[in-house]
């Protein structure tokens, strides 16, 4: 492989276009009329008893936006802007509140996290680490697969953008797969396992850290704003990181041993020269640069602040929130001489920020107007849930639903916005602590591992041709089910011990 | 100013002592009080008040808080008896209350009283604001020492109007509360909001601040939507027309993609 062809840079602010299938084009064609008709029906029908007129508008606007997000007659960020406009025009939520969403903590944290992740790319620290881990552990199939899982575990707390993580590691993965005889034209089970485990690692480890994904931050914001309890970075990490490690360890062992058995000849490197490519790349990078040292120092400092949030009050007399810790880190990386980033180097996907702001506005309008509570009440009536139901039965239903919901709803952030307020309302209505149901459900939001269409990293990895849709479905459903079982066991034990479940 | 405050405080103390004595003399307990306030188009409010109370006395004076002024008692009776009661509205300079003499066997009893409040809803003051919204507050305070075990107030809007949003309430709706203290419902096809306080003690308030709107909606949106749908279906028909055209779109997208030299996109 030619070293010059391997590109580690990212360009997150430019949206890649993917050719649409015939079915997707049909969906797109009917999506706009469908959403608009749905809006008209829900808006013009007599206001249901028990719902305010504001709530009716919020439901109608959100239903239309949901239809458009799924069918994509317009880009998702344009739908978000349209949702904000509809909410304002039809008085579903006050204009100042709709516009104020962009100033919420969740949006700021996203922007700052993307600026910080840009320092990793610019300093080439991520590239060096990926190459080093590949060379160090690439001599047997199980160790290299394990090494990539560990790499994903390392990257998850630093880089919230799962696609960025995918793009950084992908060139190294392609080289390693080639070394073990797996190419897009001639794939073998080593390639399937390596790519599927990375796909799972990217998604599952994101649930180990509150900053691992936008949807986690959104969920935590909902839990704080609606459930009245702040979830700390350390709390989230202590609760969920062990579970992600257990599940990924099971997946690492289960895949090559049972699901996609790796033939003995593929358990050792095929092309020895492949490592030379990586060694050359690493050698070309030279010694650990000052920029890399600066990036490491800033990241470790921010991570330290995130991980010790509970102790700030005692140490400093004030609390440094996750967003303020990221802000301090961002200030450092932008400082002349000390820092290493200029504004043009900051790779911020503004379309994701706009999408998140609109989706967040829609979700908050549903809650603020009482519409979410109304819908939950109707859902209760429909499925016969009532206050006498046992907590654990509700817990199992919610965890199972939350885990498999990614099959139907592509966007993690959207699921977070739709599901978490409803789960909080369910808990409140049934007299349970909202955190005991909403937090475990939030832990499963990033587990988008069953189909290539579930998440953009999945699509990127699928585009390499190293695994098929049926491979993804088989491996993904198995690991999702393991995830449900582990989460249920954790609910009875680990979460209970931590005081999350009663 | 200070003298006025002292005078006011003295009055409160006197009134309090007075009503403690009255309560001891009369010896009644209020289990439930429900006020249904029907807001009318002419700005008046028709109130239906139901009170469940118990007394150990055979004879006495039932006194109840009456926050509203300008009240006209339409009818009042005990235990669905047809005999009209002699209800007296008293103003003691601090607050209003009603006095109803009773004479029956001790035990549980029920008072039903209908009254009208003139000039209750000032439409001009209430609105219309932006989006033709009207804003109003209904509020009741227990000015008596007698605790009301359960108090509920139901505000019924005029026909053709509906609640747009409840913007405030007493008791307050806190984020951690499992559900708000108020519910929205309908009575005889009219929208109503009921707020409950359990118990309602001395100086406790029950209030509902809300925005309401006419239920009439502009149907112009249907025509605009039909035009938009028609235009969309016409101009984007290439999405479903035939394979070749669809391929052209896809090729354009791929070319554009290559030009942009994209390497990734964040997940949302």
Strand-by-strand arrangement of the B161-170 sheet: B134-141, B205-214, B161-170
Asked if residue B146 lies in contact with residue B201, where contact means CB atoms within 8 angstroms, the answer is no
| HSE-CB for A1 with a 13 A CA cutoff | 24
Give dist(CA B179, CA A58) in Å, integer.
19
pLDDT recorded at residue B243: 56
Provide φ and ψ at B18, rounded to 5°.
Answer: -60, -45
**CA neighbor of B129 nearest in space, from B39, B216, B214:** B214
Asked if residue B262 lies in contact with residue B253, where contact means CB atoms within 8 angstroms, the answer is no
User: Percent of chain B, pLDDT > 90?
Assistant: 29
**CA neighbor of A220 nearest in space, from A309, A159, A334, A154:** A309
**CA neighbor of A442 nearest in space, from A500, A485, A392, A489:** A500
Whether B266 and A91 lie within 8 Å, measured CB to CB = no
The pair of structure tokens assigned to A238 is: 């202590």
Flag the least confident range among A76-85, A185-194, A436-445: A185-194
User: Percent of chain A, pLDDT > 70?
Assistant: 88
- List beta partners, residue B197: B151
Give dist(CA A422, CA A190) in Å, integer.
41
Between CA B185 and CA B192, with CA B189 as vertex, the angle to 5 degrees is 35
- List beta partners, residue B161: B214
Whether B266 and A73 lie within 8 Å, measured CB to CB = no
> If pLDDT is split at 50, 70 and 90, which confidence band does B17 have?
very low
Average pLDDT, integer, range A294-300: 87
Give the residue with greater pLDDT, B62 vs B264.
B62
pLDDT recorded at residue A69: 79
pTM over 0.80? The answer is no
Spacing of C-alpha B150 from chain mean position: 16
The enclosing H or E element of A403 equals helix A391-404
| HSE-CB for A245 with a 13 A CA cutoff | 12
B240 interfaces chain A, CB cutoff of 8 Å? yes
Q: How far is CA B159 from CA A48, A224, A501, B38, B134, in A?
A: 15, 39, 47, 10, 15
B contact test, residue of A5, A15, A19, A429 with most B CBs within 10 A? A19
Q: Which residue of A has its CA nearest to B160?
A: A46
Provide CB contacts within 8 A for A204, sequence distance 6+.
A244, A247, A248, A446, A447, A449, A479, A483
DSSP-derived pairing of the beta strands B134-141 and B205-214 = antiparallel
Whether B257 and A369 lie within 8 Å, measured CB to CB = no
pLDDT recorded at residue A196: 95
Whether A14 and B260 lie within 8 Å, measured CB to CB = yes
How far is the alpha carbon of A271 from chain B, nearest alpha carbon, in Å?
Answer: 27
Whether A349 and B249 lie within 8 Å, measured CB to CB = no
Residue with tokens 């290493």: A340
Give dist(CA B34, CA B150) in Å, integer.
8
């Amino acid at each position: 492989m030619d070293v010059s062809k391997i590109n580690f840079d990212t360009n997150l602010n430019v949206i890649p276009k993917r050719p649409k299938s015939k079915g997707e084009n049909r969906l797109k064609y009917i999506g706009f009329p469908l959403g608009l008709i749905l809006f008209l029906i829900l808006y013009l029908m007599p206001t249901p008893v028990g719902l305010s007129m504001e709530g009716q508008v919020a439901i109608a606007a959100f239903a239309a936006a949901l239809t458009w997000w799924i069918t994509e007659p317009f880009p998702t960020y344009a739908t978000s802007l349209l949702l904000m406009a509809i909410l304002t025009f039809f008085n579903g939520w006050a204009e100042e509140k709709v516009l104020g969403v962009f100033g919420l903590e969740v949006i700021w944290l996203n922007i700052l996290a993307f600026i910080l992740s840009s320092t990793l790319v610019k300093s080439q620290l991520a590239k060096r680490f990926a190459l080093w881990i590949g060379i160090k552990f690439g001599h047997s199939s199980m160790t290299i697969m394990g090494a990539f899982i560990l790499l994903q575990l390392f990257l998850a707390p630093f880089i919230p953008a799962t696609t960025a993580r995918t793009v950084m590691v992908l060139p190294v993965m392609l080289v390693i797969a080639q070394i073990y005889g797996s190419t897009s034209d001639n794939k073998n089970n080593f390639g399937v396992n390596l790519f599927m485990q990375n796909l799972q690692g990217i998604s599952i480890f994101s649930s180990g850290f509150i900053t691992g994904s936008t949807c986690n931050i959104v969920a935590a914001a909902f839990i704080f704003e609606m459930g009245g309890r702040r979830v700390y970075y350390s709390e989230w990490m202590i609760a969920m990181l062990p579970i992600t490690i257990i599940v990924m360890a099971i997946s690492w062992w289960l895949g090559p041993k049972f699901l996609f058995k790796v033939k003995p000849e593929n358990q050792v490197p095929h092309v020895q020269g492949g490592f030379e490519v990586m060694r050359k790349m690493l050698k070309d990078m030279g010694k650990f640069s000052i920029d890399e040292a600066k990036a490491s120092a800033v990241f470790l400092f921010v991570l330290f602040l995130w991980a010790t949030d509970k102790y700030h009050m005692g140490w400093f007399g004030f609390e440094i929130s996750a967003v303020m810790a990221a802000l301090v880190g961002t200030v450092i990386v932008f400082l002349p001489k000390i820092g290493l980033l200029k504004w043009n180097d900051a790779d911020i996907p503004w379309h994701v920020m706009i999408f998140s702001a609109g989706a967040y506005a829609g979700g908050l309008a549903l809650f603020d107007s009482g519409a979410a509570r109304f819908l939950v009440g109707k859902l209760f009536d429909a499925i016969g849930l009532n206050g006498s139901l046992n907590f654990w039965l509700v817990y199992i239903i919610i965890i199972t639903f939350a885990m498999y919901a990614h099959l139907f709803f592509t966007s993690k952030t959207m699921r977070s916005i739709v599901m978490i307020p409803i789960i909080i309302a369910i808990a409140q209505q049934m007299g349970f602590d909202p955190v005991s149901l909403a937090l475990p459900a939030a832990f499963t939001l990033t587990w988008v591992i069953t189909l290539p269409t579930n998440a953009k990293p999945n699509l990127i990895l699928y585009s390499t041709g190293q695994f098929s849709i049926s491979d993804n479905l088989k491996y993904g459903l198995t690991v999702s089910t393991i995830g449900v079982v582990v989460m249920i066991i954790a609910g009875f034990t680990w979460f209970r011990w931590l005081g999350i479940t009663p | 100013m200070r003298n006025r405050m002292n005078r006011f405080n003295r009055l409160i103390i006197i009134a309090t002592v007075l009503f403690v004595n009255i309560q001891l003399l009369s010896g009644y307990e209020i289990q439930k009080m429900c006020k249904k306030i029907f807001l009318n188009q002419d700005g008046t409010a028709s109130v239906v008040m139901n009170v469940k109370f118990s007394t150990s006395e055979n004879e006495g004076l039932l006194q109840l808080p009456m926050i509203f002024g300008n009240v006209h008692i339409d009818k009042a009776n005990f235990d669905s008896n047809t005999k009209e009661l002699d209800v007296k509205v008293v103003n003691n300079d601090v607050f209003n209350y009603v006095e109803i003499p009773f004479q029956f066997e001790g035990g549980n009893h029920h008072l039903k009283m209908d009254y009208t409040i003139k000039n209750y809803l000032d439409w001009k003051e209430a609105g219309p604001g932006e989006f033709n919204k009207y804003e109003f507050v209904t509020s009741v305070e227990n000015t008596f020492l007698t605790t009301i075990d359960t108090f509920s107030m139901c505000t019924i809007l005029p026909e053709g109007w509906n609640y747009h949003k409840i913007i405030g309430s007493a008791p307050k709706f806190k984020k951690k509360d499992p559900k708000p203290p108020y519910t929205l419902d309908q009575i005889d096809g009219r929208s109503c909001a009921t707020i409950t306080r359990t118990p309602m003690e001395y100086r406790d308030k029950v209030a509902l601040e809300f925005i309401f709107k006419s239920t009439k909606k502009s149907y112009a949106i249907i025509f605009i939507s039909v035009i938009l749908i028609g235009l969309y279906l016409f101009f984007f028909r290439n999405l479903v027309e035939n394979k070749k055209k669809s391929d052209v779109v896809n090729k354009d997208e791929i070319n554009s993609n290559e030009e942009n030299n994209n390497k990734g996109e964040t997940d949302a």
